[in-house]
């Protein structure tokens, strides 16, 4: 391939529909503590962030012990849902992973979730990736670019040679800050939410190497 040597994927909402499980777990936890929490709150304030940052965005500053307890409660609910609900990779996600493999593009998952490896294994796609970056592997959460820069480093690829696939506002910001071509994945059709991405799709099978090469030239002005 030409200018793009690696593709880095967020997991939740991009590769699989864990978004609905996360939302259910967050809502149950927040409701238990007397906080109103709707889907828009999830997408605007929590999605893509490390757990503690997500909680603070809703409740503000509470004692550290209380925040940790709420984070553990949410994690407990989520893992229960992972075990009891059906979970599959999106068909278009499988397609693009195979497509990139056939074209010798390195693959990584870079997610704030500490459940990443467990979920990828359950989906049966963990072996498709050259590296997996989880919430255990970096200190600063999105919108800081550390998670994506860590993935590029593990892949031994220049950040400028990477394309990021993200469905969260903070994830888009992180990808752009990392200096990477950043594709917004907007499965709910609300493209305006991810307007800062270099390009937006509603399905991953709309992406081709030719599209990425053309975008790269436009965004980075490098031919």
Please state the residue numbers annotated as binding site for Mg(2+): 10, 12, 166-167
Task: Determine which one of 12, 41, 92, 170 is catalytic.
Answer: 12
Please state the residue numbers annotated as binding site: 10-12, 26, 46-51, 74, 111-115, 142, 166-167
Contact 178, 142 (CB under 8 A): no
Please state the residue numbers annotated as binding site for substrate: 10-12, 26, 46-51, 74, 111-115, 142
Q: Is 85 a catalytic residue?
A: no
Q: Is 12 a catalytic residue?
A: yes
Catalytic residues: 10, 12
């Amino acid at each position: 391939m030409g200018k793009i040597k690696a593709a880095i994927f967020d997991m939740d909402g991009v590769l699989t529909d864990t978004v609905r499980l996360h939302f259910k777990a967050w809502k149950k936890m927040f409701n238990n503590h007397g906080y109103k929490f709707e889907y828009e709150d999830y997408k605007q304030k929590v999605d893509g962030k490390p757990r503690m940052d997500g909680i603070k965005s809703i409740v503000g500053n509470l004692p550290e012990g209380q925040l940790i307890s709420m984070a553990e409660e949410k994690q407990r609910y989520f893992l229960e849902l992972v075990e009891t609900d059906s979970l599959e990779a999106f068909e278009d996600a499988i397609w693009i992973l195979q497509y990139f493999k056939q074209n010798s593009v390195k693959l990584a998952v870079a997610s704030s979730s500490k459940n990443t490896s467990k979920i990828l294994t359950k989906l049966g796609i963990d072996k498709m990736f050259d590296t997996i970056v989880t919430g255990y592997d970096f200190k600063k959460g999105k919108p800081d670019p550390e998670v994506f820069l860590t993935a590029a480093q593990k892949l031994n690829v220049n950040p400028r040679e990477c394309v990021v696939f993200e469905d969260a506002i903070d994830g888009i910001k992180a990808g752009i800050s990392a200096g990477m071509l950043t594709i917004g994945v907007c499965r709910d059709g609300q493209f305006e939410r991810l307007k800062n991405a270099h390009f937006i799709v509603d399905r991953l099978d709309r992406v081709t190497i030719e599209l990425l090469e053309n975008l790269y030239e436009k965004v980075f002005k490098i031919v």
